[in-house]
Amino acid sequence: MGIALKGGLLVDPQSGSCEQTDVWLEGDTVVGLGPCPHPGPWEVVDVVGLTVCPGLIDVHVHLREPGQTHKETIASGTAAAVAGGFSTVCCMPNTAPPIDRPDRVAELLGIVARDARCRVLPLGAVTLEHGADALADVPGLLRAGCAAVTDDAFPLQERALMGAALGAVREAGAGLIVHCEDKRLSAGGVMNRSELSGELRLPGQDAASEVEALRQWRAAAAGLSGPVRFHVAHASTAATVALAGELRRGSGPLRGLTLETAPHYFALTQEQVRHCGADAKMNPPLRSESDRLAIRRALLEGAISVIATDHAPHTEQEKSAGMLEAPFGVVGLETALAVALTELVHSGQMTPAGMISLMTCNAARALGLRAADGRELGVLRVGGVADITIVDTAAEWTVEPREFRSRARNTPFAGRRLRGRAWGVLAGGRFVMREYQPMTATLPAPHPPERA
């Protein structure tokens, strides 16, 4: 039996169009938009008053399994993902052990096949054991099922290793996700260096750390002869956006770079540390109001093309250690869509299609994400993958961390009143969340994305 989503407002983030129409699904495929493509039987789902769009994609999630299941698991993290409207997440490799070898990718995908509520695309560590001595087998990681490789949480510092990593991913046709942080400038800092950090007597990170690291990547790429798929994670400063613009306007190997940011960087500032303590401690840290406005402007102008959560769960005990000792990171899967709608769409600054593109087609395009059979993710078209998010854009709710599906509660948005939330999610043509409630269905592990 097929599924007919009847009467919703279909938002196409690629064309920018919005129209009330029906969506028809059979198996894992969209078979019609508009009139019924052929006689049933169809399960009719009334979505009048709701927005229908491609399934949301988060390219930056820490699911913590294997080895850190006291913080999060594949099961709990993907339950949080579908509760937040996501049909696909890319999981970071800083687990224990790290996802830096093909056999470890295979073990992870075994857990995903058993426990995941949505698509999970692994990201591989670009160096062995997150170290500074040896690159990982990038082609092997891709063949095993990784969608891209990254140095996230363990940013590369030596220019020679940066250059070797760029050469390896270019040769393999992989995407490289980089965490831009110059440790010489950020070392020891637990929040943004500012008058506030002085007032709170907390060691601060120099905001120049981020842009200086990007300058080092530019220098490391100088000897390459062709373009690299280069994606900058969690951009947080005006200077980073400005330098990225220079690189795009140039002719060097990084001219096609893409940037992501997270909701906390366009919705909050360092002042949140005063109110939330370690629940507002993340890396890069929350910045100044001028940086927040620059990040928001970059989203509106297209200079930043992806919103990701950097969902980083920790236990309450870990976060209760205070700003100096608590680990970096906040959760975001269950609040990202609502924060983006509240801050960008309901404020009148961005169209629904524009905002949705940041969490669907742009995210997929940045890393070349595809389903197991090679079809594009992040789009909603006849013949395409039946990954769909259904959004109640008018729903008003208050963030209550105790109600999260994630095992973690470390959010700087606790108590915040938001407008908009996911009503349902289909992944591969199956409901994994419906009427605001995640379902128990799990999905098989996907294959690697197609490579040129």
Tokens coding 142: 């891709």
Phi and psi torsions of 341, nearest 5°: -65, -45
As given in the structure block, the two tokens for residue 362 are 């742009």
> Residue 25's closest CA among 46, 53, 1, 50?
1
Query: 310 catalytic, yes or no?
Result: yes
* Catalytic hit among 115, 151, 310, 392: 310
Q: Phi and psi for 21 in degrees, rounded to 5?
A: -160, 170
Name the nearest CA neighbour of 290 among 352, 238, 366. 238
Q: What is the rounded radius of gyration, in angstroms, for the C-alpha atoms of the chain? A: 21
Q: Are 134 and 127 in contact (CB under 8 A)?
A: yes
Its sign, for the CA torsion 423, 425, 426, 432, is negative
State residue 299 phi and psi, 5-degree precision. Answer: -65, -45
Nearest alpha carbon to residue 247 among 235, 258, 237: 258
CA 290/CA 237 separation, integer angstroms: 9
Which tokens hold the place of 339?
């924060």
Residues comprising the chain, all counted = 452
Write out the catalytic residue numbers.
310
